[in-house]
Amino acid sequence: MSLFNRYMFRQVSNAFLVILLTLTSVVWLATALKELDLITSQGQGLWLFMQMTALSLPSLVALIAPNAVLMAVLYTLDRMNGDSELIVMTAAGAPVWRIGISLVVLASIVSGAILFANVVLNPACMRALRGLITEVRADLISQVLQPGRFSSAETGLTFHIRDRSPSGELLGLLVHDERDPKQVMSFLAERGRILSNDQGSYLVMFDGYVHRFNTEDKNKAVQIVAFDQNMLDLSEFGSKDSGSKELRARERSIGELLFPAPEDKRANQNYGQLRSELHERLTTPLYPIVFVFVAIALMAHARTTRENRWGQILAAFGIALGLRMAGLAAGNLVALSAWAVLLVYAIPVGAILVAAWTAHVRMSPELRAKLNFELKFQPKNIKFWTARGMQTE
């Protein structure tokens, strides 16, 4: 890189890091506030709270980074034009690509980092987060429940124990489950125990009854079934996706998305979602480059410092937002039809080519001679502008 390119790379990189850290901090704080329930009502420690919120950072950074690149590039180009730096470089004969090469290098670095996060970091973090959530749910039953108190693991699910034995068993256990509005169930057991293994965590109940009440039954009858031993899967608490033992699309590696196991029922039934997730991971890294080329096409050409550039800045934001929304819509279409894969890649690649062509065309100076009038219809003592200077007859 030349001296000017290194200088410009430092300027845009510093702006990018400041914007990225600021936006990530704001979004992370908003996400962390939603998880404060871990400490306040579920009795978990601060360390576990920090672990769970930190595991979401790679996906947040990958989501915010393209927008941070766009904002940093627009800010840098606008500031350098206001300081007449772009004007001096243009007057010295530097083409627009001499100015934009540092921006493209930054976008390429960010794209590589996003690709690494999408392929390696995010699936691993999602799996680790899934394991922590399961531990929290199991710990809620085994440690947080206090004798004589009603505790709710989630909306519609209530636990109560009479006492806790020295060995840790739950005595006089009551579990009331009304998450399914069509069927309300209540478990009454003399004792219960928490078991954890590689498959998940389970609440095993001994010597009790199950009360089932079907809300759609006209007779309003309650079924009572006695059991010697019954098991409740604690990993099913929360959303249906988190409760399933099969991995969600976001938790799968690239290999598992490309070649799901034949016995994987979730993959066989929802292969369109796996296909959409795969191509979304591969195309998202292209958007920092797309945004940079859009910014170069609109903002990298020198303009007078008296000219207001807010129109170009808003146009760049609007075009970038439209392209990203079109990419997301195409990604959703991939889940329904395989032919949309071409559209997913065509949008960012086509945008890069069109923006590069636009920037190159705008680099050529406009000839003023095309604004001249016919000389024979003008007085002879008037000078006229031409492409090569001033001429008189």
Supply the pLDDT for residue 32.
Answer: 72
Cβ contact 274:267 at 8 Å: yes
Helix axes 96-116, 57-82, angle to 10 degrees: 170
Taking phi first (over 0 means left), then psi (-120 to 50 degrees means alpha), and beta for anything else, what does residue 279 get? alpha
Supply the pLDDT for residue 116.
Answer: 93
Taking phi first (over 0 means left), then psi (-120 to 50 degrees means alpha), and beta for anything else, what does residue 43 get? left
- Give the span between the Cα atoms of 58 and 55, in whole angstroms: 7
Supply the pLDDT for residue 375.
Answer: 43
Supply the pLDDT for residue 382.
Answer: 46
Supply the pLDDT for residue 393.
Answer: 44
Supply the pLDDT for residue 85.
Answer: 82
Supply the pLDDT for residue 34.
Answer: 66
- Give the span between the Cα atoms of 193 and 199, in whole angstroms: 16
Supply the pLDDT for residue 352.
Answer: 93
Domain borders along the chain are 146-238
b/e burial code for range 108-131 (CB count within 10 A of at least 16 → b)? eebbebbbebbeebbbebbbebbe
User: How far does CA 133 lie from the centroid of its chain?
Assistant: 20
Supply the pLDDT for residue 390.
Answer: 47
Supply the pLDDT for residue 289.
Answer: 94
Supply the pLDDT for residue 107.
Answer: 93
pLDDT tens track, the chain, 393 positions = 678 888 889 999 999 999 999 998 888 887 777 666 555 555 555 676 777 778 888 888 889 999 999 999 999 988 888 888 888 887 777 778 888 888 999 999 999 999 999 888 888 888 887 777 666 665 555 555 677 777 776 677 788 888 888 877 888 888 888 877 788 888 999 988 877 766 667 788 898 999 888 877 777 778 888 888 888 876 655 444 444 456 777 778 787 777 777 766 666 677 778 888 888 889 999 999 999 999 998 887 777 767 677 888 899 999 999 999 999 898 888 888 888 889 999 999 999 999 989 888 876 554 444 444 444 444 554 454 444 444 444
- Give the span between the Cα atoms of 72 and 257, in whole angstroms: 34
User: Residue 185: how many CB atoms within 10 A of its CB?
Assistant: 16
Cβ contact 173:150 at 8 Å: no
Supply the pLDDT for residue 136.
Answer: 64
pTM of the predicted model as reported, rounded to 2 decimal places: 0.68
